[in-house]
Every structure is written in C-alpha cells, then in structure tokens.
Amino acid sequence: MNFENEFQLKFSAQSSNEGFARMAVSMFLIQYDPLNDILTDIKTAVSEAVTNSIIHGYENSGGDVILRCGIKEGVVYIEIEDMGKGIEDIKKAMEPLYTTKPNEERSGLGFTVMESFMDSVQVESVKGKGTRVAMTKSLLG
C-alpha cells in the first residue's frame, strides 16, 4: 500500500520497550491532530499487541518486534510483528478471557481490547515462525 506517510521500528522484545512503541506511534500521529480519545485507543491497542509479542511470542526470552505504522486518507494502519513461537489456534486465542498463562495473572483480554479500540484487527500466525497483528483506525472520528 502506498501511504502518505509511514515509519518502521525494530526493537528488542523487552517489557521496557512497550511504552517506547506506544509513544512512537503517538508522536508520529500527533502531527495529524487526532482527537485524544482516538489517540488513546490506538496507544492502548499498540500496547496490547507489543505486550503479546513479548509475553507470548517470545515468552520473555528476547527477540525482535517490528512495528510498522502508516497513514492514508485519514486511516492509520499499524502492524506489530514478531518471529516468536506463533499461535497454535488464532480463533481460540482471540476468545475473551482465553489465556495461555493463567498462573501469571494474565486476563486473556489482549485481542478483545485491540478489537474494541480499533476499527479492524487481523491476526496471522505460523507456529514456530511468529505472529503479525494488523490493525486500522480512522482518525476522522
């Protein structure tokens, strides 16, 4: 897709970088003067996707997360990708309250949060190769 503007970041899959990813998207989008509620929704969804990559994709064992963000005609396109262990059953993983880590106080709402805050969420995953979460959100309210 040809974007009006875009960026890509690659960063270490460390919990400390979740806030960095959220703020990078925020700083990129601020030039488009989005409503605060829309910006907050986007930051929350990015936070959830990055956290999923770190906690579930790599199981806190390191690796890289790739964040891509582009804008076209007032719509933001965001991708979060990891090369971690992948998701065995995407449909099940996207069910509210489903978690693979119940002993770690995980609520199983990551994908539900992403879907509630974004206009669209698509998940592609290959077991043993990684996961890509693609999300869109209109800045036009």
Candidates 17, 59, 68, 106; catalytic one: 106
- Is 52 among the residues known to form the active site? yes
Name, in order, each residue with C-beta under 8 angstroms of 24's C-beta and a sequence gap of 6 or more.
7, 9, 67, 69
Could you confirm whether 22 is annotated as catalytic? no
Closest CA to 87 of 134, 135, 129: 129
**Candidate list 22, 52, 81, 132, residue with the active-site label:** 52
Torsion (CA) 15, 115, 126, 57 in degrees, nearest 10: 10
Q: Could you confirm whether 115 is annotated as catalytic?
A: no
Among candidate residues 18, 48, 81, 132, the one labeled active-site is: 48
The catalytic residues are: 48, 52, 106
